[in-house]
Amino acid sequence: MSVINSPTAILSPQSNSSSTLPQQFHTASSQHDLVVKRSATWRYLQRVHQGGMVLYNTAVLTEGDLRKGYPYNDEKMQRKTMQYFMLGSSLATILEIPNQADCLKALHVVVQEFDYFIASDSKTKMMLKFRATGRKALLEGKSFEETGEYSQLDVRPLPFQLDYIITFASLCDMIAQVYEKLSGHENIWNLHTLDLFQRVDSRFKKILTTVSKELEGMARDVILDELNGMDPLGGTTEDWGF
């Protein structure tokens, strides 16, 4: 049973000044419910990556299962780990913004910068072209494409390798805190903030989808190992009807 929900239209683009107060209240209430569900989903994934959790009522994934599925020395995995670290570190800074609407604007910027960062094929090119900066470019209203500087994404080289499982569990915590911060303020929602939220939420859901598929593959392997332990002649997922 998956806890990941499909994105829903919270407010029609055709909404206008004729909207009634009950409709506005319903919109805020629905948005609040969605934000709470998203927070719960990320908290669940955080617990899964801490090991010993049953994945979607299928199989228990131990820390050993996770480390088998996420090889530490794999170059692609290390690159992904670094990307998730930068995103989580950036979110930690954004969470310090007291105003929820301003926080949402900064979130939108960071996911844009994150997408732009990972779109590059060359890590060397990325590190030379972009510099980790403060807020100057953002305050001047210039984009990172124009300035060559990131205003929100925490871009910095590290002198050591990161552990994927620990890094992703920390990212889950940061994203859950983002949703929790937004869930306590129903009065921030309007056409503009809803649009920003949907863009940010859509980007986070891409990560959810990718990770969920990876975990489901690990769960199938665990179940297959258990079945083969009972009947060594089973052999493959096809033999067991997967």
Indicate the domain borders of the chain. 25-230
> Which pLDDT score, from 0 to 100, does residue 143 have?
59
- Rounded Cα–Cα distance for residues 98 and 84 (Å): 24
- Rounded Cα–Cα distance for residues 67 and 90 (Å): 26
Q: How far is CA 209 from CA 6, 83, 143, 204, in A?
A: 10, 17, 28, 9
DSSP state of 152: S
Collapsed DSSP state (helix, strand, coil) of residue 111? helix
- Rounded Cα–Cα distance for residues 40 and 79 (Å): 27
> Which pLDDT score, from 0 to 100, does residue 236 have?
55
* Strand (E) or helix (H) holding 50: none
Per-residue confidence in pLDDT tens, the chain, 242 aa: 334 443 333 333 333 433 433 444 446 678 888 999 999 999 999 999 998 888 888 899 999 999 999 988 888 899 999 999 999 999 999 999 999 999 999 999 999 999 988 886 445 444 544 444 444 444 455 555 565 577 889 888 888 899 999 999 999 999 999 999 998 776 788 889 999 999 999 999 999 999 999 999 999 999 888 887 776 665 555 554 55
- Rounded Cα–Cα distance for residues 92 and 186 (Å): 22
- Side chain identity at 62, as an amino acid letter? T
Q: How long is the chain?
A: 242
Q: How far is CA 216 from CA 32, 111, 171, 203, 211, in A?
A: 29, 26, 19, 20, 9
Collapsed DSSP state (helix, strand, coil) of residue 159? coil
Q: Residues 61, 48: contact at Cβ < 8 Å?
A: yes
Q: Can you give the pTM of this predicted structure?
A: 0.76
DSSP state of 52: -
In the beta sheet, which residues pair with residue 150?
132
> Which pLDDT score, from 0 to 100, does residue 150 have?
78
Number of Cβ within a 10 Å radius of residue 142: 14
- Side chain identity at 58, as an amino acid letter? T
Strands (E) across 99-161 are located at 131-132, 149-150
- Rounded Cα–Cα distance for residues 22 and 208 (Å): 33
Assigned token pair, 35: 């934000």
